[in-house]
Amino acid sequence: MKKILSTEKIPVKLWLDNIEEGALQQAKNLANLPFAFHHVAIMPDAHFGYGMPIGGVLATEDVVIPNAVGVDIGCGICAMQTSLTDIDKDTLKNIIASVRQAIPTGFKHHKKKQSTALMPKVQGNLDINELKIVSREYDNGLTQLGTLGGGNHFIEIQRGSDNRIWIMIHSGSRNLGYQVANYYNKLAIKLNQKWKSEVNPKWQLAHLPVSSHQGRQYLLEMQFCVDFALANRLLMMQRIEEIFLSFCVGVDYADPINIAHNYAAVETHYGREVIVHRKGATRAQKHEKGIIPGSQGTTSYIVEGKGNSESFCSCSHGAGRKLGRKQAQRTLNLQAEIEILDKQNIIHGIRSKRDLDEAAGAYKDIHTVLKNQEDLVDILVTLQPLAVVKG
């Protein structure tokens, strides 16, 4: 931990030296919520978000805050070690071309619905029709399953410090998660107005009591989206495995590591059962394996959690942005960013200024981010990028 801010109702614990003013104010808002528990934890990759900083961890008593989870519910990382110890560039190019054909990116979906057998079950074996938004969007979800999405989502082929080739996927719950998040955030805003909530509506932190019907429904629909996001990553990984097998003879795969970084969960901390919201933060319980990706063109990491209670057993979910998307497109030098990747011999997709929102220069230094959380995780494997597909 770098510092503790003690000026608010409860402390704000920060794992970074410098935090932008907007994100800091959001952290202070969290600390002044009447139902915030014990302290607020801000991870080293933190930056400004909607209502809550990306890279924030908030524990609450008896309420859940849809905007403290965000719109891409269940977004996370899947990483898998292969038995390959090397891969040549021509093979990599063929694999990446096949991946682009097999996995829709950006706003694209599959033209045909995927099998319902691949969809998650509703928690508690409830009927799907008990989930208002999920049931409404279910058929659309069948075409979104196994798709990457856009923004900072990616598929990356990497070389590990363990002398193995790895596959990594960053993706979430697609439009399904967005629809659930949007509906329940609007509902929470409406109900908070009705209840004359003491929380400033400008903070964008409208809440739902977990004992209420609306709170219980949100938690059920949110969990379905978390499970859908996992199923989405696993289906993409399965298809990438098949592509590898068509170009690489005899390749085997270890069990994938899967983590989510946008969700709320019931956990016990400091002797109390609370709702822990992780928005752009990864759980890092003692001996738990996790993944901290870098930016395009920088190292990523397989890590092991230390179970640090001061972070609510959490760590960063990545490097974290230092430039907004439009700011990056305006200010970064296209040729310089391309050279960063070309010098490392990375197969990438940066072609125009429009692509600069996901250039390495738009992100914080991953080495500093890792250094700032040495009390949260240990590094197990360092992963160097070889080829990247961006959403």
- The CATH code of the domain that includes 11 is 3.90.1860.10
- pLDDT reading at 110 higher than 90: yes
Interval 248-274: pLDDT, tens: 989 999 999 999 999 999 999 999 999
Would you say residue 348 lies in a domain? no
DSSP secondary structure of 135-200: HHHHHHHHHHTT---STT-EEEEEEETTS-EEEEEEE--HHHHHHHHHHHHHHHHHHHHHHT-SS-
Compute the distance between CA of residue 289 and CA of residue 305 in angstroms, rounded to an integer: 6
Residue at 295 is within a domain: yes
* pLDDT, position 297: 86
Please indicate, yes or no, if residue 335 is contained in any of the structural domains.
no
Active site residue 153: no
pLDDT reading at 296 higher than 90 = no
Asked if residue 330 is part of any domain, the answer here is no
Rounded CA separation 378/29 (Å) = 31
379's tokens = 């590094």
Does 124 score more than 90 pLDDT?
no
Asked whether the predicted pLDDT for residue 349 surpasses 90, the reply is no
Residue range 82-95: mean pLDDT, rounded: 96
Is residue 197's pLDDT more than 90? Answer: yes
Q: Which pLDDT value is given to residue 222?
A: 98
Read off the pLDDT band of 24 (50, 70, 90): very high
| Phi, psi (deg, nearest 5) at residue 243 | -65, -45
- pLDDT computed for residue 211 by the predictor: 97
Q: Which of 291, 242, 274 is nearest to 61 (CA)?
A: 274
Question: Which is the catalytic residue, given 47, 261, 277, 317?
Answer: 317
Domain around 83: 3-322+363-390
Which 3 state secondary structure label does DSSP give 119? coil
Tell me what pLDDT residue 248 has. Answer: 93
Residue at 374 is within a domain: yes
- Confidence at 357, pLDDT banded by 50, 70, 90: very high
In a domain, 328, yes or no: no
How sure is the predictor about 227, in pLDDT bands with cuts at 50, 70 and 90? Answer: very high
The model carries a pTM of 0.96
Cα first-last separation, the chain: 33
| Residue 27, domain member (yes or no) | yes
**61 Cβ contact partners less than 8 Å away, ≥ 6 residues apart:** 35, 37, 272, 274, 275
Q: How confident is residue 123, by pLDDT bands cut at 50, 70 and 90?
A: confident
How far are the Cα atoms of 137, 232, 323 from residue 279, in angstroms, in the given order? 23, 19, 19
Task: Taking residues 332-348, report their average pLDDT.
Answer: 94
Task: Give how many domains the chain has, as a whole number.
Answer: 1
Mean pLDDT, rounded, for 310-330: 95
In a domain, residue 338? The reply is: no
Residues 6+ apart with CB under 8 A from 339: none
Looking at the chain, the whole-number percentage of residues with pLDDT higher than 70 is 100
State the average pLDDT over residues 70-84: 98
Banded model confidence at residue 391, pLDDT cuts 50, 70, 90: confident
The per-residue pLDDT for 231 is: 98
Using CB atoms within 10 Å of the CB of residue 230, give its burial: 0 to 12 exposed, 13 to 18 middle, 19+ buried. Answer: buried
Strands (E), the chain: 3-5, 12-14, 36-47, 54-60, 63-64, 76-81, 154-160, 165-171, 208-209, 257-260, 262-269, 272-279, 281-283, 289-292, 300-305, 314-316, 377-390
